[in-house]
Every structure is written in C-alpha cells, then in structure tokens.
Structure 1
C-alpha cells in the first residue's frame, strides 16, 4: 500500500495534488510520502514484535536527511556502507549504538570515524578487513564489536546484479570457513565478535531462499557457541522485494517474513537485526515528469519526457520495470495505445519502457513513475550536465522541498580551473 492515489480526477500524494507540486517546483522531481515511509517501517517493526530486535533502515536506498530524520524519530537503527553514509546518519540524529557499518571496502579512515563517533557493530566481509579493523581499534585503544558476513551459497533467484549470497559473489566469507575466521577474531584484542551477518540479495519475492540461508546461520550459531563464542546477535540483512508491477502477484508481506524468522531462529535467544531499504522507501516515492514531445516513429510512437536515465537509472541498469501512470486520471473507458517512453539523454539506453500501454498523452501532460522512492535519487548523476532533480516530502496536506535543484551556475562553479588555463 502507498499514499499516491487518484482523487477528484488527479493523482495526489497524501492530501496534496501532484500537479500543485509540479507547478511549484518544476519537473522532473521526486516526491516521497511520510505516511508510507512510516507505515512500512512499522510493518517490519511489528512483524518482529515477538523477538528482541532492531530494524536498521538500509539508507543506501534513500539517504535524504529528511527521510533519515524521520526513520530516527521512529526508533529505527540504520545500516551504512560508507563514511559518507555514516556522517549522514550521525547528522540525522542516529546514536552510534544504532549504526551498523556494512560494505566490502571499508577504509582506515572510515573505520576510525565510526570507532570515534560510535558504532553498534561492523559487519566484516573479509580477513584483510578484519585485521585492519583490529589495527585501527588498537591504535585508538578501543574494542570494535563485529559480526562476520557469511556467504551461504544460496541462490536468491533475483537479478544477477543484486544477488549477493552465491559463492561467486564478492560479499562475505564462505560459511564453511566461518569457524576458522571466528577463531582468529578471538585472538585479536581489538575485536569482539557479537554475532553473525548474512545478506543474500535484493528484491527477493520468495521466502524460501531466506529460509535456506537462515537455517545455515542457525547451524553456524550452534557450532560457534559450542566453540566458546558468545553469539548474541544475528544480522539478517534485507532484500524483501516490492511489487513494481501492480498486475503481478505481490511478494511476501513483512508479517510473513517475520513469522519465518521466528520459525527458523526464534529458539536461539539472539537479538535479530534486519536491514530493509527498498521495502521501506520504494513504494513511498514517485518520480514526476512532463511530456516534452510526442514523436511518431517507424511503427511506434515515442513519449519524450523531461526525466532521463541520469535521474532514474534502474531501467537502463537493470532493465527494471516501473509502473507509469498519467497524473490526470484517465476515464474508465479511455482507449490505450503503446508508447516507447524515453528521456532526452544522448543514449539509446535512456529508455524507461518500450511499447507500454497508456491513454493518449500530449505535450505538457504529467506522468508519474511509481515505486521510485528507493535507488532513484541516490543513484542519480549529472550526466549531460543535467542538474540533480528536486526531492519533495509530503505530510498530510503539506509539502517541502528537501533537496533543491541546483542552478547551472552552481554546477559549473564546482569545477576549478588550473592556474595554466
């Protein structure tokens, strides 16, 4: 469920007409719903209510400070994967003991910043990282709480570019070698193992891969405890998918996921951490764009819109589907026709959809890309010297620009000419 619905013939974001926002801030822009973000976080929190747990929002999905501030206020933890994300989390008000640091390439500087600023745990991804973190912690005179990300070699049955739990993926340590790695951690005075971490991929639409992975984690927990390790925490990652296509069967609900976690891991007495990002933010946002031209081609018509692949790269990168709807509600009996929906960037890949059926549209009409709240604005660029587009947050009948569109001059002024030019 989201809060982008037709009312009185026009698409609304909660109680605000989307067309009103477009007139105020210009197109294209991202629009997020406070009510949807809140609801989705609470669904996860309630799904694990029978267990000691912490829902850590995976901020790589959407790292706007307003979104982070909202999550912090709801009591969420946060999962970060870079020094910049750590700084954003602290600036948004997350306490250090609610920040989990993931990622395969943590640097000395990032480790130092997190150890001095406060951290719940580091999710270690390799033995070189483990040894570096021990060195940094000893330099600072502290002990770093850690989990080891184990790779369970489970096929998440998702897109190859967002699968992370198979043996050929770059993430984690093979689960067969985990006992050896935990034994070395026990000899390192700068580290304290507190749990196990696993994450098998993103946009999963079936619970069975999770179940397979969690059973392996449960067996590993018993093995490590038998060897004297105090495993008190299980970080289960994120990855539960969202319905990008409204016509398709919906992925499992957070409640069903929570029941599965209870079944597989509930008897271990561990605190459960989960790191949803897409499911919290994805359907909480839309991308709004204006039709620039309607172009008749050889055997097909094109909608050339003012949003482009630099604004929303998922279709170009993953062949991802986003439902696209007109902002003005079409009549129930309105005929549809197929369009190729494309942007203005000088790349054939700047294509959002091919032969997508929509009611007839004209220059100046507004359309909305649904399910664009995750991996939209955060993956945007200024390719073709196109400014990053505004982000807007709606609450009830109010809206606020939470990231303004830079001017061309502001973009140019970031460049610095050398003295010889």
Structure 2
C-alpha cells in the first residue's frame, strides 16, 4: 500500500497535511513517504530471502529511480545495497551510508576515471558490459594494485518493458555483452591481472508486470552458468537485475500487496534451485514509485471551444515521464471532492513553451479553479531524478515525510544558484 489518503477532507502523506507542505515549501514539490519505501523494501527483501535459505539475498536498490539523499539514507538504514550507473551515484551512495561492499556499478559507458574511483573505493562488483570495458577495468585494477571483482552483464536477446525506451534485454539494445561472446570473454578474463570474474548479470527492462519474459531470460542464464562451469570456470554470482513493474492506475483503496513479488520470487527460486550461486537483485521503481507524489498548484484555466486547459505550476522539466514515455499518472485533488461533484474533462498542462508539456488530455477531474492543489500520484520513480532547468526553471524541491514530521531533503534552487552555474567568457565580462 502507499500512505497517501484523505483525512478530514484533505489529502495527507502519512500524518502530514499536504496543504501544510505546499504552504511552507511552495509548489511544485515532490513528497515521499518513508513508510511506503520501508514497506516495499521489506516485502521485496523477505520474498527474495524465502528462496535463498541460509544466505541473505543481495538487494541493490537501483538509485537512478530516485537518488534523493533522504530516500537513500532510509534504504541504507534498512540494509539495502546500491546499484549505481555513474561516479556521481557511487559518491552519493557512499555519502548516504551505503558501505562500498554493498555497491555495484553498472552502465555501458564507464570511463577510466569512473572505474578508477570505483576500484579505489572498494566496491562489491562492476557489471562489465563490453570487451573494451573488460580490458579497461583490468588495466585500471592492475595500475592500482587491485583485482576488482566483476561479472559480465549478458544480453539474452529477450527484451521486455512498459515502453520501447525502457526495454534493455534485446540484441537491438545497447546493454551487455552478446550471449555468443560470453564463453570467449570469460576465458580471456581468467588470465587478467586487474579483474576477477565472479559470475553473470542480466537485466531485460523496466516496468514489467508479468513473469514470462523474466522466466525465459533466467532459463537462458541458468544454462549459461552450467555451461561455463562445465568449461572449468568459476561462477559464484548471478545478478538478476530489476524491472518488476508497479500499477500506475492507483485506486484510492489501493493495496500494493506482494502478489507479483511472490510470483516473481517463486519463479526465480524454481529456476535457480541447485545452482549454488549468490543471487543479486536490482529493484528501483518497485521500491519508490508508489512512495512519491508531485504536488502542484493550479495557475490558470484556459477554455477553448472543444476543450479546457488546466495550467499548473509543475512542468515537463519537473516530471518528464508523460512527455518522454506517454506515461500515465493518476491525478488526485488535495481537497477531497464531495460525493456527486461534477467532473470536467481537462487537458492538464504546464508552463513550458512546448506543446509536449502536457501531462494528460481529456482527463475527468472535479472542477478546479486557480489556487487549487492537485497531486500527480505514483511519481516517486524517475520524477525528480530526471528533472532539469529547461526554460530556466528552478530545480524542483523534494520533501520526505516520516509519520507526522516532514523535512526538505532538496531545497528549491534559487535564481542566484541557477544563474551562478554559468560563467561569462572573458571577452564579454
């Protein structure tokens, strides 16, 4: 379940009235629920622990979904690891309290400097995605006098996901080494001085709401583990990535029960039975997606002969998903509508000078007026983490709620800070 509900006629985050946050922090603002984050992480970890008796599963939170420091510290305190895709994410994970031995480094374009930082930090694992990266990592490790533990991320040519832009397991996608090259690369790596190959990884996509594609990919990975061992190679780890999806069409009585998570865990347990490997998982959206909302205020109504535009102070630079992925978000008014309130079909849009700055079209909502507050639900993943300053708009603020308390965990950028990131060339000073 998420912890956003109406109470006494107003929408609350846990025990905090969202109207209070809007008044004290301003809008637009992201609001995250600690209780939801904690519940979803525990559900996931317990399900994975059920298939790894006597061996704690490695759950690495995919921090690209939401890298807010308060969110990260909440998960680090629960014992989660961190799945990172840049030096900046590694640095932030360390700052949030994730120990280096609980950090993995993924991504297709790791630079020499980033790999050197990861090796020197002593992270748990690098997920290698190409032969040239293997060579680079070995050179970096040898130069630093380390033998970095790593796995090969394999592209199983089985892609899945809620949109073409978040499908990663097809041979047409840029991620991972090809299935056909793994045997040769494994043999090459065995004699390298700066890298120690520990196993394999796979990740086929994001926002996947059924287990069939996972099962097909993991069956191929099981066969690959056995084949590599037949060749005499050590395969101690199998990182199965993330990608489990969440419901974006969230009714008000929604309870995010463990059904899909349990089905996924059962399938993984069946396919990995008897393999004797350390299993790793990289959930992101599943943990934080339903834990966040984007709170925004109505600026203007702009009626037309055939439609009604509802202009809010949030924009595509604050929440990119609808413009980028045609993504759906429920929209809840902060003031609870009375039973029988008339609905109006709105095109909900932001202030940016782009027609693409549209959150939804023809959405029926209770009649709104300037100054009203509405919430984009299920905005905890790939919301603030993808935000920008397009149109020279200030980076959006973020708030974390814990019970009846809330704290600003990313202050809204000031105009001085925004302009101060630029430098004037000397001939124009």
TM-score in same-fold range (> 0.5): yes
User: Pick from 201, 206, 209: which aligns with 1:202?
Assistant: 206
The C-alpha deviation readout for 1:297-332, integer Å capped at 9, x for no partner, is 130001000000000000000000011110011122
Matched, 1:132 2:136: yes
Report what 1:186 is aligned to: 190
Report what 1:267 is aligned to: 274
- The answer to whether the 8 A contact 2:206-2:243 is kept is yes
Cα 1:157–1:100, aligned 2, differ >3 Å: closer, same or farther? closer
- The answer to whether the 8 A contact 2:209-2:260 is kept is no
Report what 2:362 is aligned to: 355
Residue 209 of structure 2 aligns to a residue whose secondary structure is: coil
- The answer to whether the 8 A contact 1:207-1:252 is kept is no
Cα 1:205–1:119, aligned 2, differ >3 Å: closer, same or farther? same
Report what 2:291 is aligned to: 284
- The answer to whether the 8 A contact 2:81-2:103 is kept is yes
| 1:413 positional shift | 1.7
Report what 1:48 is aligned to: 48
Name stretches of at least 5 consecutive residues in structure 2 with no aligned partner. none
Query: How far, CA to CA, are the matches of 2:161 and 2:33 in structure 1?
Result: 30
Report what 1:318 is aligned to: 325
User: Pick from 156, 160, 184: which aligns with 2:160?
Assistant: 156
| 1:376 positional shift | 0.4
Matched, 1:10 2:10: yes
- The answer to whether the 8 A contact 2:239-2:281 is kept is yes
- The answer to whether the 8 A contact 2:161-2:243 is kept is no
- Return the TM-score normalized by structure 1: 0.98
Residue 287 of structure 1 aligns to a residue whose secondary structure is: strand
Report what 2:169 is aligned to: 165
Report what 2:29 is aligned to: 29
Cα 1:157–1:61, aligned 2, differ >3 Å: closer, same or farther? closer
**Within 5 A, what are the aligned runs for 1:295-374?**
295-374=302-381
Query: How far, CA to CA, are the matches of 1:101 and 1:157 in structure 2?
Result: 22
Query: How far, CA to CA, are the matches of 1:30 and 1:256 in structure 2?
Result: 31
The C-alpha deviation readout for 1:124-173, integer Å capped at 9, x for no partner, is 00000000000000000110111001111113153100000011100011
The C-alpha deviation readout for 1:98-135, integer Å capped at 9, x for no partner, is 00000000010011101111110100000000000000
- The answer to whether the 8 A contact 2:27-2:297 is kept is yes
The C-alpha deviation readout for 1:74-107, integer Å capped at 9, x for no partner, is 0001000001001001111111110000000001
Report what 1:383 is aligned to: 390
- Return the TM-score normalized by structure 2: 0.96
Query: How far, CA to CA, are the matches of 1:340 and 1:86 in structure 2?
Result: 40
- The answer to whether the 8 A contact 1:205-1:240 is kept is yes
Query: How far, CA to CA, are the matches of 1:414 and 1:146 in structure 2?
Result: 37
- The answer to whether the 8 A contact 1:28-1:287 is kept is yes
Report what 1:20 is aligned to: 20
The C-alpha deviation readout for 1:327-382, integer Å capped at 9, x for no partner, is 01112222212100000000000000000011111110000000101100010000
Matched, 1:243 2:250: no
- The answer to whether the 8 A contact 1:125-1:148 is kept is yes
Report what 1:229 is aligned to: 233
The C-alpha deviation readout for 1:372-398, integer Å capped at 9, x for no partner, is 011000100001110011100000000
Query: How far, CA to CA, are the matches of 1:249 and 1:208 in structure 2?
Result: 24
| 1:253 positional shift | 2.2
Cα 1:189–1:273, aligned 2, differ >3 Å: closer, same or farther? same
Residue 6 of structure 1 aligns to a residue whose secondary structure is: strand
Query: How far, CA to CA, are the matches of 2:5 and 2:273 in structure 1?
Result: 38
The C-alpha deviation readout for 1:274-311, integer Å capped at 9, x for no partner, is 00000111100000000000110130001000000000
Residue 64 of structure 2 aligns to a residue whose secondary structure is: helix
Cα 1:172–1:287, aligned 2, differ >3 Å: closer, same or farther? same
- The answer to whether the 8 A contact 1:90-1:96 is kept is yes
Query: How far, CA to CA, are the matches of 2:403 and 2:273 in structure 1?
Result: 38
- The answer to whether the 8 A contact 1:150-1:175 is kept is yes
| 1:232 positional shift | 1.1
The C-alpha deviation readout for 1:206-236, integer Å capped at 9, x for no partner, is 1000000000000001011111111111101
Residue 31 of structure 2 aligns to a residue whose secondary structure is: strand
